[in-house]
């Protein structure tokens, strides 16, 4: 019996050590994939970096591949404009919808809403692009733009922001519902027993407890918006310019890569320039997520109940 127990103990120890080594290897591999992706994009970008300084590439507005001039400022400005506008539109709608569905509806309503959200989140981005081209772009050109400026084609930052906000709203609502539902009901009951109203309970207790999760959800939505390609390519106009208003056309970085990749073999250094565009996008998302993790840790310490 003692011999059997010894063998069983050795087997458990062996399995624990094997699982530990396997998890370490998988962790190193996942970090290695991230490193090699960044290194590969930088390596393929070295020709354009050798031809122009980094400062010139990031701050120049001149985009003339035939002359070997690659200024990425219009593409960076277009990416930031569309992403920021989509978050400004989607975040309040998603947050208030998540609050309502979590705190004020019956359970059967949630069982109906979740499949709808899954369907919306699973629709291909090209469908959103077609919808934006057929509905949003003409609406902006004929109804909205004429009230503010003399003329707009409708293919604009505003169209891209609206389409992108509709795309990320289901994701945000689903995340917010999960986050708010995970807050223990005991906290709500304790707040109500002290005389707090439902809104005071949600604002002072639920939001405070869920704030790290809310920040993480917004980071995920921003990362999704930064990398979206097809839908934005179809509604933004793809004009190389720095947008000065919501009704100006723009040309985000993902659209540049998708729209120009087939042409790169015919122009010297075009391939390198497109790889540098991908590297910019990769670096921005990496930097944004790293900074958000630092902020998230600070918020978790500050608002820990």
Provide the CA 256 distance to its chain's centre, in angstroms: 18
Average of per-residue pLDDT values in the chain: 84
Burial 180-203 (b: 16+ CB within 10 A, else e): beebeeeebeebeeeebeeeebbe
pLDDT cut 70: percent of the chain above it = 93
SS3 203: helix
What is the pLDDT at residue 2?
A: 55
Non-local CB neighbours of 111 within 8 Å, separated by 6+ positions? none
Residue 268 has pLDDT above 80, yes or no: no
Distance CA 123, CA 304 (A): 37
Non-local CB neighbours of 270 within 8 Å, separated by 6+ positions? 65, 260, 263, 264
Strands (E) located in 42-116: 63-64, 69-70
End-to-end CA distance of the chain: 50
Q: 264 pLDDT band (50/70/90 cuts)?
A: low
Distance CA 244, CA 230 (A): 23
185 vs 76, residue with greater confidence: 76
What is the pLDDT at residue 4?
A: 53
Distance CA 113, CA 170 (A): 10
């Amino acid at each position: 019996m003692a011999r059997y127990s010894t063998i069983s103990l050795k087997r458990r120890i062996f399995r624990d050590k094997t699982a530990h080594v396997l998890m370490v290897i998988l962790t190193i591999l996942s970090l290695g994939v991230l490193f090699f992706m960044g290194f590969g994009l930088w390596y393929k970008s070295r020709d354009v970096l050798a031809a122009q300084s980094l400062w010139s590439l990031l701050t120049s507005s001149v985009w003339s591949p035939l002359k070997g001039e690659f200024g990425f400022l219009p593409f960076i400005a277009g990416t930031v404009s569309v992403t920021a506008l989509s978050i400004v539109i989607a975040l309040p709608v998603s947050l208030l919808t998540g609050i309502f569905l979590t705190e004020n509806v019956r359970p059967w309503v949630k069982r109906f809403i979740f499949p709808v959200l899954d369907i919306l989140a699973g629709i291909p981005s090209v469908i959103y692009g077609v919808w934006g081209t057929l509905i949003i772009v003409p609406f902006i050109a004929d109804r909205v733009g004429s009230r503010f400026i003399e003329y707009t084609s409708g293919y604009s930052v505003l169209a891209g922001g609206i389409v992108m906000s509709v795309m990320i709203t289901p994701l945000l609502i689903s995340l917010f519902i999960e986050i708010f539902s995970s807050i223990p009901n005991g906290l709500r009951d304790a707040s109500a027993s002290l005389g707090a109203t439902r809104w005071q309970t949600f604002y002072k207790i639920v939001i405070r407890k869920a704030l790290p999760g809310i920040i993480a959800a917004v980071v995920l939505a921003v990362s999704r918006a930064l990398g979206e390609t097809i839908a934005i390519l179809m509604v933004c106009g793809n004009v190389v310019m720095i947008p000065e208003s919501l009704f100006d056309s723009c040309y985000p970085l993902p659209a540049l890569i998708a729209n120009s990749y087939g042409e790169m073999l015919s122009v010297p250094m075009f391939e390198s320039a497109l790889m540098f565009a991908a590297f910019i996008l990769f670096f921005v998302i990496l930097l944004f997520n790293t900074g958000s993790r630092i902020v998230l840790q600070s918020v978790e310490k500050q608002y820990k109940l």
